[in-house]
Amino acid sequence: MEVDTVQCIASMSKEANTIPADFIRSVDEQPGVTTFHGPVPDIPEIDLANTDRNQIIDEIAKASQKWGIFQIINHGIPPVAIQELQRVGKEFFELPQEEKEKVAMVPGRLEGYGSRITNKQQGTKNWADFLFHNIWPQSKINHGFWPKNPPDYRHVNEEYTRYMVPLVDQLLEYLSLGVGLDANVLKAASGGDELRFLLKINYYPPCPCPDLALGVPAHTDMSAITLLVPNQVHGLQVFKDDHWINARYIPNAIIVHIGDQIEILSNGKYKGVLHRSIVTKDETRISWPVFCEPPEDMVVGPLPQFVSDENPAKFKAKKYKDYQYCKLNKVPQ
């Protein structure tokens, strides 16, 4: 099956120095119009090597309440593990098209290689291709969607996962303690040991008209939390104080997004971050988010600790798969 990809369109568009009309965003979405260029605060940066654990917990809680996003340094994932993850992901997207299509998405599955432009849904198209596959727990991994080429792709991803799993545990513990819960509450309410880790590689090729297009439009993540590493090409924007602002690139940092499920569990105390991806004229941007999601049949709703007569539940409790269906199909929750 041949996959239409942005990578192919990008190479044709470069010569024409224009992009197809169905990639052009409405004026109120165009980054050339909507990006804020005045002085802005930086996304909070949190050092996990700080010897004052209570300070870390406090900083994470404040960042998650005010921003819904923060960057962590000294997080325990060795720089070489991040660099190798980036290397094999980049090498995969540089392979011939027929090689990439060996792991193409199949109908009804979220995993595999593809492009948003293959969706038949109406609306403006995103300047991005991607690869999705589960990396944890092992019972959810289908290696049929993991590239066989580059040959060390599997080893590198398993090594990265080995560090990612305890880091997520640590962050969920700090997020629990930060709002007065016992350390294990948010992890247990998000799926416990069945919490699913879904890796995505977003691939944004150079775009002749970056002021008019978006890699990914404004959204919050469906996950509990998302941990993302980008390459050095700038592109993440966050909506803060009614402005779209650029996220500062910090080498080897991991960007942590609060997702919808933690916002729901905390009854809105923690905020899911509204963010988007822009593209550039001359460089390829790549990012590696890991979405940490509850099992499909897990019911997620506001925790009783956060619901009272004065503060009623702001969200309906529902199975995660039903939440996913509503969000993906733009059905009211």
Would you call the peptide bond into 137 cis, given omega within 30 degrees of 0 as the criterion?
A: yes
Q: What is the mean pLDDT of the chain?
A: 94
The CB density around residue 44, as the number of other CB atoms within 10 Å, is 17
CATH number of the CATH domain containing 206 = 2.60.120.330
12-21, 44-53, 136-145: least confident range: 12-21
> Per the residue annotation, which of 100, 129, 133, 221 is the catalytic one?
221
Is 22 among the residues known to form the active site?
A: no
The whole-number pLDDT of residue 109 equals 85
As beta bridge partners, residue 288 has 229
pLDDT > 70: percent of the chain: 97
Position 2 pLDDT exceeds 70: no
User: Where residue 117 falls among pLDDT bands split at 50, 70, 90?
Assistant: low
For residue 40, is it within any domain? Answer: yes
pLDDT digits (tens, 9 = 90+) for 202-226: 999 999 999 999 999 999 999 999 9
| Any domain includes 50 | yes
Q: Is residue 228 part of a domain?
A: yes
Is the pTM higher than 0.85? yes
**Which residues on neighbouring strands pair with residue 286, listed in sequence order?**
203
Q: Is residue 111 part of a domain?
A: yes
Instruction: Give CA separation, 123 vs 22, 23, 24, 176, 333, in Å.
Output: 8, 9, 10, 38, 21
Angle at Cα 328 formed by Cα 1 and Cα 302, nearest 5°? 145
Question: Can you tell me the distance from the alpha carbon of 13 to that of 8, in angstroms, rounded to the nearest whole number?
Answer: 9
**Considering the domain boundaries, does residue 303 fall inside one?**
yes
Residue 219 known to be catalytic: yes
Contact indicator for 284, 207 with CB cutoff of 8 Å: no
184, β-bridge pairs: none
User: Quick one: pLDDT at residue 119?
Assistant: 47
The answer to whether 183 and 173 have CB atoms below 8 angstroms apart is yes
| Strand pairing report for 225-230 and 254-258 | antiparallel
Residue 200 is among the residues annotated as catalytic for this protein? yes
Strand partners, 280: none
Q: Per-residue pLDDT for 258 more than 50?
A: yes
Cβ–Cβ < 8 Å for 247, 255:
yes
Q: Domain containing 278: what range?
A: 6-329
> DSSP 3-state helix, strand, coil percentages of the chain (rounded to 5)?
35, 20, 45
Which one from 90, 102, 140, 219 is the annotated catalytic residue?
219
Within a domain: 95? yes
Q: Closest Cα to residue 60, out of 162, 141, 172? A: 172
The CA distance from 174 to 184, in Å, is: 9
- For residue 84, which amino acid is it? E
Catalytically annotated residue among 14, 90, 140, 200: 200
Q: Provide the domain count of the chain.
A: 1
281 in a domain, yes or no?
yes
Lookup: tokens for 110: 């979220």
148 in catalytic set:
no
Per-residue model confidence (pLDDT) at position 116: 67
Rounded Cα distance, 83 and 99, in Å: 23
H or E element in which residue 246 lies: strand 243-246
Q: What is the phi/psi pair of residue 244, to 5°?
A: -90, 115
Q: Is residue 1 part of a domain?
A: no
